[in-house]
Amino acid sequence: MLSHLDKNQQPRMVDVSGKTPTLRTAVARAEMVLPDPVWKALHDGEIRSAKGPVFQTAIIAGVSAAKKTSDLIPFCHPIGLDDCSIRIEASAPHRVVIEAETRVVHKTGVEMEALTAVTVAALTIYDMCKALSHDIRIERVELLAKSGGRHDIEKRSA
């Protein structure tokens, strides 16, 4: 049974009132493919546009989005994040990797916050670079790791 459905198959928020707060962490990743005009604008690991430094702005947008996840996803519990860090780097030619790590001591996990952070960071890069090309692709948004709840997940090497 899906956790967001009650016994009558009606949507609901999961009741976490009986759970004990524990340290919850999550890591998510998004990958982007940048076409030539955007890739050529990359200098010293950053793209500077008329709107400002693209990667730095995307980091700020991603952290802000992570803090607002419960406003965007109807059944996410509102939580005050203890930490959210985002790293963006140009990797292989034409590729950018965005990773977010979220942490909180709470009764529920922070994987949706990490996924929201990388997605909004990627959308911010798209928005700030679309004047150069609309052929930017956002790929592989995925949860890499989560810990502190009923089921830990680790998809990345330590």
Supply φ then ψ for residue 47, to 5 degrees: -110, 130
Which alpha helices (H) appear in 11-129, and where do they start and end?
36-40, 54-67, 69-72, 111-129
**Cα–Cα dist 106/103, whole Å:** 9
H or E, element range at 86: strand 83-90
Question: Would residue 15 show up in a list of annotated catalytic residues for this protein?
Answer: no
User: Which of the following is catalytic: 44, 83, 127, 135?
Assistant: 127
Nearest to 146 by CA among 155, 138, 137: 155
Active-site residue list = 127
